[in-house]
Amino acid sequence: MLEMSHVTYAYKLRRRQKKTALTDVSLQCEPGIFYTIFGPSGSGKTTCLSLMGGLDQPEQGEIRIDGKRIGEIGENKLRRGYVAYIFQDYQLFTYMTAVENVMAALQIAEPRTKRHDLKKRAEEILFSLGLDAREIERRVTRLSGGQMQRVAVARALAVDARYILADEPTGNLDSAATDVMIGLLRELVEKWNKCVVVVTHSLRVRDASDVSFMFSDGKLEETVQMQTAGRAGGKG
Ligand SMILES: Nc1ncnc2c1ncn2[C@@H]1O[C@H](COP(=O)(O)OP(=O)(O)OP(=O)(O)O)[C@@H](O)[C@H]1O
Ligand SMILES: [Mg+2]
C-alpha cells in the first residue's frame, strides 16, 4: 500500500515566500486498483503525484510504501522495484529506438542481464502493448503520440514497479487513443496487479477508474468510489 498521511507541501518562492500547493492530504492506494486524481488546474494534482513518486519530499506529514517511509527506501530501490513514474511528456530518450528505450529501463532494474536477453524482454513487453516489429526499431521521435505513450508504459513495466504513477497520460490523445490507453491502464491493474494512479482532466479516464480522488485548492475534497460493478477488479 502507498499511504500519504497529513501531507502538506509548499513550493519555495523568492525571499522566504512560499506557495502552499497541498494541505493536509491523506490517502491510500493499493495494488489491483486503478485510481485517478481529478480536479481543476492548479489544484495540486501534479504536486501530489510527484510526492507519491518520491520526486520531492513533503514539508509535513509522511508517505509510506508497503509500510516503509519513502526516505528510508532510498532512491535506487524506489526506482527499481517500487515506483514507476510516467511523465506527461514521456521523457523518452529521443535519440533511441523504442526497443532501446525499454532496454535502458530494464538495464536499470537488472544491470547484470546480457544485452541479448534485455532485447528479447524489451521486445516482448512492446509487443504485448501492441507495437509491431518495425515500430519498435524506429526512433521514438518518429512514432505517433499514442505509440510514444505506449513506449513510456513499456518502460514503466520494464522496471517491474508495483506502483505506476502517470501524469496526464492521455493529455495529448484523441478519444480513440484515450480508450486504448484506458485499456492498457486497466490491464496493468487487472492482469499484472499493479496499483495505477493517474492524474487526469478527462472524465472518460476518471469514469474508467475504480476510485477517484477529487482535488480542489490543494485539498483532497472527496474520495469517490466509481461505478465498477462487473469489472474483474471490484476489490476494495
Ligand atoms: N515550481 C513551482 N513553484 C511555485 N509554485 C508552483 C510550482 N509548481 C506548481 N506551483 C503551484 O502549486 C499549485 C499546484 O500546482 P500543481 O502543478 O500541483 O497543479 P495541477 O493540479 O497539477 O494543475 P494542472 O492541472 O494545471 O497541471 C498551483 O497553484 C501552482 O501554481
Ligand atoms: Mg499538473
Residue range 160-206, pLDDT digits in tens: 889 999 999 888 778 888 888 898 899 889 988 999 999 999 999 99
Name the residue with the closest Cα to ligand 1, atom 3: 11
CA of 123 to the centre of ligand 2 (A): 31
State the distance from the centre of ligand 2 to the C-alpha of 42, rounded, in angstroms: 7
Exposure string of 69-106, with b = 16+ CB inside 10 Å and e = fewer, is ebeebeeeebbbbbbbbbbeebebeeebbbbbbbbbbb
**83-86 and 68-69: which strand pairing?**
unpaired
Query: Tell me: the pLDDT tens digits for 89-137?
Result: 788 999 999 999 999 999 887 889 999 999 999 999 999 888 999 999 9
> Which residue of 7, 38, 47 sits with most ligand 1 atoms within 8 Å of its CB, as the best mutation to test the pocket?
47
Judge contact between 20 and 10, C-beta under 8 A.
yes
Name the residue among 36, 35, 32 with its Cα closest to residue 233: 32
Q: What is the pTM of this model?
A: 0.87
pLDDT score for 228: 63
Nearest ligand by distance to the CA of 10? 1
Mind listing the domains of the chain with CATH numbers?
2-225 (3.40.50.300)
Question: How far apart are alpha carbons 187 and 208 in whole angstroms?
Answer: 12
* Residue range 196-235, pLDDT digits in tens: 999 999 999 999 999 999 999 999 999 999 976 445 444 4
Non-local (6+) Cβ contacts of 17 within 8 A are none
13 CA closest ligand 1 atom index: 4
For ligand 1, atom 6, the nearest C-alpha belongs to: 11
For residues 13-17, give the mean pLDDT.
Answer: 88
